[in-house]
Amino acid sequence: DFTATVTTQPSKPPADDFDIFGEVIQTAKAQPIKKIKANFVYEDIDPNDFQQAWIEIEETVNFETELRKDMDDKDILTDLLESENITCIASMQDRDQKKYYFYSKDAVTREFAYMEAIIVEDSTFSVTIKCEKKDVSEALLDLLKTALKKKNYL
């Protein structure tokens, strides 16, 4: 009878791999994921198409933060984003909560991105962005954060 015991331990990958003859095998290093820089452009959309897309598309990006200063003027956010070709299709206020719906189209992928922004008590800010392409949603969020930082809200 022959009995063998094999013990395995997790190991760190070596800096170089060697083949059975001791020759160094070049290993490919993982390339960083390249983020797209979206170029948002204005394109008109029917409100019913917006609503349908909002219902059907999965959430892709969520973000929540406390603002450094109050966003007490209801036009601040819309003015800030419309200068970046992100259009407000609807907004409403209920007591201490303001809710905005925005959209834009990425010029490269031709994908629409849809965004809901909620401001509670002028200082708690949350965003949900929906788009078929997650990298477009992330690019829209990056653009939003940059715009808010420029105005010292973040």
What is residue 43's three-state secondary structure? coil
Mean pLDDT score, 27-37: 47
Mean pLDDT score, 77-84: 90
Q: Structure pTM? A: 0.73
Q: How do beta strands 97-106 and 112-120 pair? A: antiparallel
Distance CA 121, CA 60 (A): 26
122: left (phi over 0), alpha (psi -120 to 50) or beta: left
pLDDT for residue 18 is more than 60:
no
Task: Give the pLDDT of residue 37.
Answer: 57
Task: Give the pLDDT of residue 7.
Answer: 40
**Residue 75: other Cβ atoms inside 10 A:** 11
Mean pLDDT score, 65-80: 85
**Sign of dihedral through CA atoms 144, 146, 147, 153?**
positive
Element (H, E) at 130: strand 124-130
Distance CA 131, CA 136 (A): 7
Residue 73 pLDDT grade (very low, low, confident, very high; cuts 50, 70, 90): confident
Task: Give the pLDDT of residue 38.
Answer: 64
Mean pLDDT score, 90-116: 93
Mean pLDDT score, 31-41: 60
Distance CA 147, CA 154 (A): 9
Distance CA 133, CA 113 (A): 9
pLDDT for residue 50 is more than 70:
yes
pLDDT for residue 23 is more than 60:
no
